[in-house]
Structure 1
Amino acid sequence: MRWKGFSSPPDDLLRPSKRQSLKILTHSRQTWAALLSVARSSTHLPQSCSNTSNLLHQTPSIPDEQSVEDVVEGTVLFLEGYSQWTISSSVSCDLTSKPKTSPRQRINIGGANPAFCNISDEFFPEWVGFEPVPTCASRGNYIFALVLGWSYILSTRLIELRKRAEEDAVIYTDKRAAWHCNGSALPCEGFTIPIGNVDTNERRWWAAILAGGCGWQATLNRSGNAYCPPWACHLNQRERFNIRYEGTPHLSPDVSHPPSSTEAQQYLCNFAKLHDAYDQLIAAFVASLTIPSHLRFGAPVTLPKPKPMTSTETLGSKWSIYTPSADQLPHLMALTCIPNAVLSCMSGCFWEPGVHCNVAGEWLHPILTEILPPLIREKKYEVIIGIMSARRPSSAPLWLGSAITGMLPRIPSILSNFMPPSCLEATVWTDCRQSFMDPAFHEELPISHTARLENVIRREDEFRLLYLTDVESESYGTPPLSPYPPFGLVKLDETAIEVRLHAFCGHRLDYSNWVWRRQNRPDLTDYGKVPPCERLSEIATRNIFSWTFFSDGVRLDELPMWEHEWLSFLLDHESDEENALVTSGEVI
């Protein structure tokens, strides 16, 4: 390795000096060693792993079919969208009147085949529970069943949103797990899952979820082809499970209509309540969010082998509040489908501010080659999750999910071979810094002077201005491929004209919204999931300004204010009937 006894030639313009190299290497080893020590001292998972709300900061949602049309291309069904950003300035500048538009992206919502999973004790065989109440962790491990249940819920929710015709549906197949009444003789083959005192509909659903092969199918039909949701996941054919229910054995008419996503989520909550496993319910949900990433990287889905549950104190009051609500699902679904969003969040844990591109190897070497490989060999996945959760708490649910589904061991090898592109939108949606191009680092440029009194700026600031000033994304539409900044200084008068014009403007880049592309009509703006506190501020602002709006209208000089997303709703609803709906529905 170069930093062991290697000295860069004095005229090497790119490689760092031996001193620079050792400085970063030492800093890296100290940083990761401290995180490793803390993670090893804990025997349970950080609470941040259970909080999916941290992934919902203006995060857009999968739109319904009536609002946005999907596009078919071969074996892929997708939507198209892009982000819009506003540019602020500390001085008067015409650039602030122009939104910056990112390049269009494809959001895959359907593929030719669903995923199939194996059951193994390779990943997360023991459930350790969340802090700060680990003594209340559920005993046993039914995470695999809960992951498969969430897979159904997310897939069904997509069908509900994107349904165009009767052929777009969720159906049962002829494959099902065998069910047995409590007290009857159980077969010798296969693991038996108790589902409690349930009705015929709920029993039939569990028989489909735990069927070897494909017990249910969710498909969107376009142009004569069927497309499966990216979260659809089934047990492999060789897996065999039985269901035990309470009550009297009797023959019931077969159920032909699978439940809605809301009904299925209630079934899953019933199961969690029966086994005091709300903590596992949440863990299974974050695992289901990573299934589309498995398809992207060709990684097989492997779920934990079940272990019988034993009773503990009731966990519902402690963990049920973290169960995602029905209105949160489309937002989290969008996050996991938008290209590079999940991987960008996870790889952002490895990124460090102040580390330049030519010493990125020194920074990454300790964690990728000295720390993670032994932990992976020893199956200490909870330690890895602890390290990454401490680095970026917002991304903690994704690390837990990737460990449960068996994707986590792939991450170091991916990062060791190529540099994943950063997703600036995901930086905002998850409040997780990932790159020197993040909006937080766009600031007033520090301008220095050479001995000849020439103005110089940091090269990384030049890169930020090139990206920011290209509002139409013609030359610098996407951020640089590397999250690590370039080193060095550049003479201001030798930079591009855009950089020279705006070097003293103090520009900042702020996320505005996501936009869904539509055909033959204006695109659909999506301001995403906003925090409850901001929602209340929006309501208060809209209500106070509506007091004069309906009587006096809008002053011309204040039109830009009324076009803001908080107030534009009023401009779009001018009839007396619609005005009544606004005032009665928004006032609290």
Structure 2
Amino acid sequence: MIGWYYILSARLVEIQGETATIQYTSSEADWYYDTLCHSHETHIVDIGEADESVARWWTAILAKREGWKAIVRQTPAGEFLAPWAASRTCETSLAIKRRRRGSPNSVYTPLSSDRAFAALTEFARLHGLGSQVPISLASALTFPTHKYCGPTVTLPFPKEADGKQAAGDMGIGPSPKWSSLMEDLPYYMTLSCNPDVMIATLCGSFWEPEVPCNLVSPWLHPILDEVVDGASSIIAHDQEIIALVGAIRRPNVSALWIGDGTSGLVPKVLQKVRRGRPPLDSLAFPWTGCPQSFMDIAGSGPYTCEDPNYISRADVWRLLHLPSTEDDDLGYRNRPFTPWAPCGTSLVKDCALRVASHLKCPRHEYQYSHWTWLLEDGAAIEDCGFSKSSLPTMTETFRNPPADIKELRKFKEKELDQRASLEASLDIFLWFIINGEGRPPENIYQDDWLAPIWSDDESGEELDEEVDNRDSPELVGQSDDRLETWLSTIVCQDPNQPSMSFA
């Protein structure tokens, strides 16, 4: 993993050009010849027949604190380092063992990303660790997200395993997939540099299209409270289970889940999922092919239900988010704050015109086009990403349980906490109400779960003296009471006097 930290950083420096540099520091790991290593307090890493430049690279990436620095830009405010710049904070002593004589201390030129990748794959072949090359890359890609979310990456100590054969004696060459890793590395770097997309994609593995907002707690309860016990203190075995479940549910990003479990990011993901308010990012779905919200899918069939007088609220929400054709400032520009779909249906007659006008249309959907790089010289480059073709999404194959399950595992039942359902419901209906025109007449808006929305709104109006109470949501839908109040203020007139009447 720390080898990949360097490779990713070096590749970014090379892309940036002259404004960026990578350099070794004075901090180095110890090194020994094959016959001079007798320390029992130091973890020894055998690098085989590596030359001086490769040996110096190993002493840099295994050094305490910072053995190398990847400076993307130098400004008066300080140095901007690559997102994968790592500092080893533990006091454990690591050293390299090499079979070729010569001092690596005399080498000052850092390896390029290609040469560092060759050194890493050479080491993998030497020790028969080929499968760990892509796994360690997946783990390294989660490193900026670790920095963003706060937890420190904790890695196991290397096991003592001498390389018995030189790479040339093993009779195997580099895997073709290894070469493709370097060719596609800029795309992986783009994804890795966006922690919002990364964490939203991982959290999206717990979202299910068929689960409405009022059933979030029962849906999350088995995996969060029965399989694992607490999101902040889960053990390594539980992290492995969660990573496996995530990889099965989202095969497109199964590598990220492996990296997530290896690097120890699982507890942070569970913490963000537990409350029913996981982070969302509109780019995560088109970049990865993994939907994370009911707004990412268009649905199927006609917009109305079997009874043409009704339409699902999920479809109402989707239609409200379509760009408005009128300049009426009533558009729902932002997406909902929660991925869970609103429950139930709405009467068509109660829907806004911007919804009713689409009921006869085929399904509408958003399609991702590209993003734009804005360069310092004012130029703009459109980038379609890794592939212009749409990525495959979830398949029924992965959503069906495996056929070879021998027996069901019994768990101690725990009390169901409805907090996630409550907060998801509040969030999704609050999105509708904030963008709408007061409290709708449907009974669901009188539900106790939604009471905080109205109490907060009304308390805010009392504190604001400039608010016109005629627009208060409390009065919307109470036209009969308002009419009676108005009529009671009319002064009765003498029937003999001329008067005007209104129909």
TM-score by shorter chain over 0.5 = yes
**Distance across 1 between alignment mates of 2:171 and 2:276:** 42
The aligned residue for residue 485 of structure 1 is 341
The aligned residue for residue 30 of structure 1 is none
**Distance across 2 between alignment mates of 1:339 and 1:289:** 10
- Between 1:401-410 and 1:169-178, the stretch displaced more is 401-410
Cα 1:324–1:240 change in 2 (3 A) is farther
How many equivalent residue pairs?
A: 381
**Distance across 2 between alignment mates of 1:302 and 1:240:** 16
Structure 1 position 482, deviation (Å): 1.1
Tell whether the 8 Å contact from 1:376 to 1:409 is kept in structure 2 after alignment: yes
Determine helix, strand or coil for the equivalent of 1:358. Answer: helix
- 1:367 counterpart = 2:219: no
The aligned residue for residue 185 of structure 2 is 329
Tell whether the 8 Å contact from 1:304 to 1:404 is kept in structure 2 after alignment: no
- 1:190 counterpart = 2:190: no
Q: Which of the residues 403, 409, 423 maps onto 2:261?
A: 403
**Distance across 2 between alignment mates of 1:475 and 1:332:** 35
Tell whether the 8 Å contact from 1:515 to 1:524 is kept in structure 2 after alignment: yes
Cα 1:280–1:312 change in 2 (3 A) is farther
**Distance across 2 between alignment mates of 1:355 and 1:297:** 27
Structure 1 position 154, deviation (Å): 0.7
Tell whether the 8 Å contact from 1:469 to 1:498 is kept in structure 2 after alignment: no
The aligned residue for residue 152 of structure 2 is 300
**Distance across 2 between alignment mates of 1:460 and 1:487:** 7
**Distance across 2 between alignment mates of 1:394 and 1:312:** 37
Q: Which of the residues 306, 318, 333 maps onto 1:464?
A: 318
Tell whether the 8 Å contact from 2:244 to 2:257 is kept in structure 1 after alignment: no
Determine helix, strand or coil for the equivalent of 1:256. Answer: coil
Deviations 1:454-505 (A, max 9, x none): 7432111111122232599995344212111001222334433432333322
Q: Which of the residues 215, 219, 228 maps onto 2:81?
A: 228
Matched AA of 1:214: E
Matched AA of 2:212: H
The aligned residue for residue 524 of structure 1 is 381
Cα 1:251–1:508 change in 2 (3 A) is closer
The aligned residue for residue 580 of structure 1 is none
Deviations 1:334-356 (A, max 9, x none): 11222521112211221112110
Deviations 1:88-113 (A, max 9, x none): xxxxxxxxxxxxxxxxxxxxxxxxxx
Task: Please say which structure displays the higher CA radius of gyration.
Answer: 2
Matched AA of 2:112: S
Cα 1:156–1:322 change in 2 (3 A) is closer
Cα 1:253–1:188 change in 2 (3 A) is closer
Cα 1:532–1:312 change in 2 (3 A) is farther
Matches within 5 A, 1:26-175: 147-165=1-19, 168-175=20-27
**Distance across 2 between alignment mates of 1:266 and 1:329:** 14
Determine helix, strand or coil for the equivalent of 2:283. Answer: helix
- Between 1:522-531 and 1:466-475, the stretch displaced more is 466-475
Tell whether the 8 Å contact from 2:48 to 2:163 is kept in structure 1 after alignment: no
Deviations 1:216-268 (A, max 9, x none): 00112243221111111132251311110012x33467111101111111111
Gaps of 5+ in 1: 1-146, 535-588
- 1:511 counterpart = 2:378: no
The aligned residue for residue 238 of structure 1 is 91
Matched AA of 2:234: I
**Distance across 2 between alignment mates of 1:213 and 1:264:** 20
Tell whether the 8 Å contact from 1:278 to 1:320 is kept in structure 2 after alignment: no
Cα 1:532–1:466 change in 2 (3 A) is closer
The aligned residue for residue 257 of structure 1 is 109
Determine helix, strand or coil for the equivalent of 1:219. Answer: strand
Tell whether the 8 Å contact from 2:303 to 2:360 is kept in structure 1 after alignment: no
Higher strand share: 1
Q: Which of the residues 290, 294, 311 maps onto 1:432?
A: 290
**Distance across 1 between alignment mates of 2:306 and 2:105:** 84
**Distance across 2 between alignment mates of 1:461 and 1:383:** 35
Matched AA of 2:84: W
Cα 1:519–1:400 change in 2 (3 A) is same
Q: Which of the residues 381, 388, 393 maps onto 2:246?
A: 388
Structure 1 position 215, deviation (Å): 0.5
Cα 1:371–1:237 change in 2 (3 A) is closer
**Distance across 2 between alignment mates of 1:209 and 1:252:** 13
Matched AA of 1:184: L
Matched AA of 1:489: T
**Distance across 2 between alignment mates of 1:503 and 1:329:** 45
Structure 1 position 517, deviation (Å): 3.8
Structure 1 position 277, deviation (Å): 0.6
Deviations 1:18-73 (A, max 9, x none): xxxxxxxxxxxxxxxxxxxxxxxxxxxxxxxxxxxxxxxxxxxxxxxxxxxxxxxx
Query: Scaled by the length of structure 1, what TM-score is found?
Result: 0.59
Matched AA of 2:207: W
Structure 1 position 532, deviation (Å): 9.6
**Distance across 2 between alignment mates of 1:268 and 1:173:** 20
Matches within 5 A, 1:18-29: none
**Distance across 1 between alignment mates of 2:295 and 2:248:** 22
**Distance across 1 between alignment mates of 2:301 and 2:366:** 11
Query: Scaled by the length of structure 2, what TM-score is found?
Result: 0.69
Cα 1:394–1:148 change in 2 (3 A) is same
Structure 1 position 357, deviation (Å): 0.5
Identity of aligned residues (%): 31
- Between 1:424-433 and 1:494-503, the stretch displaced more is 494-503
Structure 1 position 305, deviation (Å): 1.6
Tell whether the 8 Å contact from 1:278 to 1:315 is kept in structure 2 after alignment: no
Structure 1 position 332, deviation (Å): 0.9
- 1:274 counterpart = 2:131: no
Determine helix, strand or coil for the equivalent of 2:106. Answer: coil
Matched AA of 1:427: F
**Distance across 2 between alignment mates of 1:293 and 1:217:** 19
**Distance across 2 between alignment mates of 1:532 and 1:464:** 24
Cα 1:350–1:252 change in 2 (3 A) is closer
Tell whether the 8 Å contact from 2:56 to 2:105 is kept in structure 1 after alignment: no
**Distance across 2 between alignment mates of 1:202 and 1:480:** 51
Structure 1 position 310, deviation (Å): 6.5
**Distance across 2 between alignment mates of 1:469 and 1:364:** 33
Q: CA-atom RMSD, angstroms?
A: 3.0
